[in-house]
Amino acid sequence: MLTNAPQLFTYIETVIGTLLLAGDGEALSLVGFPSGKMQHRHKAEWRREDCAFTEERLQLEAYFGGELKAFDLRLNPQGTEFQQEVWRALQEIPYGETWSYGELARLLGRPKAARAVGAANGANPLPIIVPCHRVIGASGKLTGFGGGIETKQHLLTLERMHSVPKLESD
């Protein structure tokens, strides 16, 4: 996002609380949680523009309703080249599955960089849409998440519930 471009924002209500969406009107650059370390509020110089985020709102509603497995939105997360690389790799984790930080590091060709991958994962400005919640510890334990562990558990449960094929009854 251009630094001199006006920042637009809106808030949307979801099953995990009120989310902040922010961007430049062309692409989404931030999803903020209502609590946790990724809690964000809009800045005074930003302008509220609810209709600028119609597609984001629709796709998030479909995701939380279990109808959307992959987002198709214009994104513009701001970060280092390494962070961008990690955030792209996060989008390779299939819906309803989890990978460890080590698995993600190996995918990137950096098998000893699990901690650096974890740090980049934690800096993801587009949680849910860029699914950092799908990354867990090597032991299978849920690890830190910007929206809180309860939110991470909710997202993983939602995905698992909707990724299991339904059996047809006779």
Rounding to the nearest 10 degrees, give the CA dihedral for residues 132, 128, 141, 160. -130
**CB–CB of 18/12 below 8 Å?**
yes
| Active-site pick, 38, 52, 117, 132 | 132
d(C-alpha 126, C-alpha 165), whole Å? 28
| Coil/strand/helix, residue 30 | strand
The tokens for 73 are 């939105």
**CB–CB of 91/104 below 8 Å?**
no
Please report, for residues 48, 124, 132, the alpha-carbon distance to residue 42 in angstroms, rounded to integers and kept in the order given: 9, 17, 22
For residue 22, how many C-alpha atoms fall within 13 Å in the half-sphere facing its CB? 21
132 is catalytic: yes
- Beta partners for 30? 22
Task: Give the catalytic positions in this structure.
Answer: 132
